[in-house]
Structure 1
Amino acid sequence: MPSLRHTIAADLRTQITTGRLKAGARLPSEPRLAADYKVSTPTLRNALALLQAEGLIEKIHGKGNFVRRPLRRLTYAEGRLAPDADLHVTIRTTKLRARGDLVPLLKVPSRTPLTEFLYLTHQGERPHSLARIYVPRDLGLAELACFRPDRAETREVVTARLPTPEEASTLKISTSIAVLAITRVSADITGRVIEVARLLLPGDRAEALFTTHHTIEERRTEG
């Protein structure tokens, strides 16, 4: 049997998807909604949190809860985001030295000179994704990490987690909205790691697409 928070969320979700509650509309106050559904305020807030995580509503501090306008979905496939003409990217480079878990990921000594490429994708004024790509500096700055042609092997680890306060601030999302965190490690034909990429996609507007190609061998029956 569905819990009260799921029942309330389902009712509000239906009102939003059918257009009874339109994009940009302000929901009744939380005490009013709690009274209408005959539940406690914490239960009502738990229901609203489900809709926030789905990207259907957003809470604006001091103003209330509003129905969100449809967000453009991000698709991550085959090691990159699908191109989209409506999205634009800003790039910032920083020189730093390897430390922490970058050392084992890049398989380099501590304090090895690196270049960090920070990619922030926007739709209009709204940030949509964040990527940090680390490249050993001796590979040369002319070859931007995302366009390197000499990858021979790429390994990706995908996890879902809550954002850090800094990540939530950069992406302008609530700390209660899960993010899709992707760590991608690429090596060349010699086995040397040539880049480590960390991508962060808000869970309310992102999906990851994985395709597996199978080799089918024909079996012949001897006569």
Structure 2
Amino acid sequence: MMRTVPTRHHHIADDLRHQITTGHLKPGERLPSETGLADRYKVSTATLRSALAVLQGEGLVEKLHGKGNFVRRPLRRIMYVGGWGTLDPWTAAEAALRVTVRTATVQADGHLTTLLRVPTGSPLAEFLCISHEGESPHGLARIYIPRDLAPAGVLDDESPGPEAVKRFAVLSSPPAAVRETVCARPPTPDESSTLRTNSATPVLAITRIATDSNGRVVEAALLVFPGDRADAVFTTHHTLEERQPSA
């Protein structure tokens, strides 16, 4: 039986991992430059980056563009609660979470025409929402609703603040039905960049479609969470019919 011999970059990853888990390198601390680490371990920059990639994939190190590599702070798991709720499916009530929202009016095309069951070119209100815990991205949502159902005043804000988020938290009365499709898949380059995840780490993707009592789609939400720390919970309530008293 052949044994796999650890390569040089695995030895480096082991050493850095030990420094992180023992507290020698602390959460939030910036690692020396890649060139400096390569000199310290007497390896090429490519080998050093391979070692860092191992730790990035394990969630121990994160690379911030233009700033360097940092020991990643411990992040709590994300809990997505299924069913009709708030704009922030990551529980907006949590004070530690900050949600940024960008709004725009777009025209339906491609996949959106299918999701919202509208003709190509139909005006839609688009809400791009990113949830942060401190400086770390927590989740991503792209929410679309027919333009005529957009909450009054929300799209008039160039940079919606907390009040805009609050107004949008509940669009209207609960819809008649909500259908959610959940899958794990590789992230797109934009998702990987926004969520600061390794491109090899799957994301938990949820497509949520809400319809009213007439069958009209009132919202289509495309939700994406880092797959290595997200849980989705769905609860089913059974309605018991009242028994009529016997004659």
TM-score (norm 2): 0.66
Distance in 2 (CA, whole Å) between partners of 1:21 and 1:161 is 30
Equivalences for residues 55-204 of structure 1 within 5 A: 55-60=59-64, 65-79=69-83, 80-82=89-91, 83-142=93-152, 144=168, 147-148=171-172, 149-165=174-190, 167-169=191-193, 171=194, 173=196, 176=199, 178=201, 179-203=203-227
**Pair 1:147–1:138, CA change in 2 (3 A):** closer
Q: SS at 1:4's partner residue? A: coil
Q: Offset at 1:4?
A: 2.8
Counterpart selection for 1:13 from 11, 14, 17: 17
Consecutive unaligned residues of structure 2, counting only runs of 5 or more, are 84-88, 153-166, 239-247
Q: Offset at 1:131?
A: 1.3
Percentage of matched positions with identical amino acids: 49
Q: Number of residue pairs matched?
A: 208
Partner of 2:161: none
Q: Offset at 1:109?
A: 1.0
Distance in 2 (CA, whole Å) between partners of 1:52 and 1:157 is 25
Q: Offset at 1:161?
A: 1.6
**Pair 1:13–1:159, CA change in 2 (3 A):** same
Q: Offset at 1:134?
A: 0.2
More displaced 10-residue stretch of structure 1: 113-122 or 97-106: 113-122
Partner of 1:26: 31
Write the letter of the residue equivalent to 1:81: W
| Contact 2:82–2:235 (CA under 8 A) maintained in structure 1 | no
Cα RMSD of the aligned pairs, angstroms, is 3.5
More displaced 10-residue stretch of structure 1: 96-105 or 84-93: 84-93
Quick check: 1:209 aligned with 2:236? no
Q: SS at 2:56's partner residue? A: helix
Q: Offset at 1:111?
A: 0.9
More displaced 10-residue stretch of structure 1: 21-30 or 171-180: 171-180
Partner of 1:221: none
Distance in 2 (CA, whole Å) between partners of 1:153 and 1:85 is 27
Q: SS at 2:185's partner residue? A: strand
Q: SS at 2:205's partner residue? A: strand
TM-score (norm 1): 0.72
Q: Offset at 1:86?
A: 1.0
| Contact 2:105–2:124 (CA under 8 A) maintained in structure 1 | yes
| Contact 2:144–2:219 (CA under 8 A) maintained in structure 1 | yes
Q: SS at 1:176's partner residue? A: coil
Distance in 1 (CA, whole Å) between partners of 2:107 and 2:169 is 17
| Contact 2:184–2:227 (CA under 8 A) maintained in structure 1 | no
| Contact 1:177–1:202 (CA under 8 A) maintained in structure 2 | no
